[in-house]
Structure 1
C-alpha cells in the first residue's frame, strides 16, 4: 500500500482491475417452447436494451446456440456479469411430421428437423463450457418428463449450479408447485418471461447463484 500511495496510484481503481469479477458463462436450457428465447430476450432488454432472437409457436425455432457476452445484472446491491447462451430446445425425438402439423412443407419440415437434431447435439456439447445453467420449464406441463429428468441428471453429473425458472405462470393452468415436487433439490423461481412476473426475484436468484 505504501508503494502504491507513493506512486500516486488510485487503489480503488487498481482493485477494480486486479479483482474484476470473473464472467460466468450461463446456458439457458429446456424443452422446446418452454420460453427460453422469450426469457433471454427479457433479460437482454432489461439490461442491454437489445434482444437475443425471434420466437415462434413452432417447436425448435432456435436451432443454433446464440451467445451474448458481458451482460451485467444488478440486484440488491450485488452484481453478476454473464455470458448468456440461448440454446436449442432439448428433445429425445424430433419428427419432421411435427413441423408439417404447423403447415410447413415436407421439404421445409425435414430441413428443420435435421437442423433441430444438430442443435440438440450442439446444446449438449455446450454443457462442457458452462459455469451454470438456467433451466426453463413450462409450468403448465407435467415436469416429470424424460427430457427434464435426463437434462437435470446430466447437469448434476457435471456439478453445474442449476436454477429452475418455472415459466408461464401468467396462464391459468400453470402449477409451479408440480415442478418443485418433481425436483425439490434445486431452487425454483415461478415467472412469466412474457409478462415479466417475478422477474426481479429471478434476477436476485441469478446474482446469488451465479455471482
Structure 2
C-alpha cells in the first residue's frame, strides 16, 4: 500500500505541475482596513461576471473572513487572464473593540466583532504565505501610506517573490495624493483609481492582465 500511495502522490504532483498554467491565478487583495478592498473586488467581479464578492461598509473590518470569487476572466489588449479574486480582511497590528462602539454597536457585539476581525487578520496572513499567486495591494490615497502595517506587508510580499500591483484608491476624494503612495513604494508600479466611482478601471484591467497573465 505504501508503494502505491507514493506512486499515486508522485503522479499527482507531476500532473499538478503540467496543468498549473491552466489553473486560474489566485490574486489576493490586501491592504489596511477601509482602503476599499471589497469595493474594488466587487467592481472587478461585477464588471466581468455580474456578481459581487461581498458586502461593503464604512465600518472597519466588515470583511472578517477571506472571500473568493472564482474564474474571473479579464481581457485587455489581446491578453486574457483568468483569476480567482481573494478579498482578504484588512490587516492591522491591533483591533480594539472600542472603535466599533463609535459606530453605535453594543459592547458585546463590538467585542465579538473585534475577536472575529483579529481571527480574520491571521487568516489573511495565512493566505499571503501559502495560497496566493499574486497581490493587489490597495491603499487609500487620502491617508499616509508610511505605516508599520504597509511596510511589513509589502516586505512579506517581496520576500515571497509575488508579483504585486499597488492601487492608489479613492482618487475621487479632495485630499487624495497618489504621488505620496508612489514615493512610499517606488519599487512597485502605482495605479490610481476610484473603485467606488469606477475611475481609471481600464488601466486597472490592463495592468492586471499584464502582471498576472
Identify whether the pair has TM-score above 0.5, normalized to the shorter chain: yes
- Does 1:188 pair with 2:190? yes
Indicate how the Cα distance of structure 1 residues 159 and 58 shifts in structure 2: closer, same or farther if over 3 A, else same: same
1:21-75, Cα deviation, whole Å (9 max, x unpaired): 4311100001000000000000011000000111111100000000111110011
Corresponding residue for residue 101 of structure 1: 102
CA-CA distance at 1:19 after TM superposition: 10
Mapping for residues 1-211 of structure 1, pairs under 5 Å: 21-127=22-128, 128-211=130-213
CA distance in 1, matches of 2:172, 2:153: 25
SS at match of 1:72: strand
SS at match of 1:55: coil
Which has more radius of gyration?
1
Corresponding residue for residue 14 of structure 2: none
Residue-pair matches, total: 194
CA distance in 2, matches of 1:47, 1:76: 16
CA-CA distance at 1:20 after TM superposition: 6.9
Q: Mind listing any 5+ residue stretches in structure 1 that lack a counterpart?
A: 1-17
| Alignment RMSD (CA, Å) | 1.2
CA distance in 2, matches of 1:58, 1:166: 20
CA distance in 2, matches of 1:156, 1:195: 30
| Contact 1:136-1:166 within 8 A present in 2 as well | yes
**Runs of 4+ more than 2 Å apart:** 18-22
| Contact 1:21-1:81 within 8 A present in 2 as well | no
TM-score by length of 1: 0.90
Indicate how the Cα distance of structure 1 residues 19 and 106 shifts in structure 2: closer, same or farther if over 3 A, else same: closer
TM-score by length of 2: 0.89
Corresponding residue for residue 12 of structure 1: none
Q: Mind listing any 5+ residue stretches in structure 2 that lack a counterpart?
A: 1-18
SS at match of 2:144: coil
SS at match of 2:86: strand
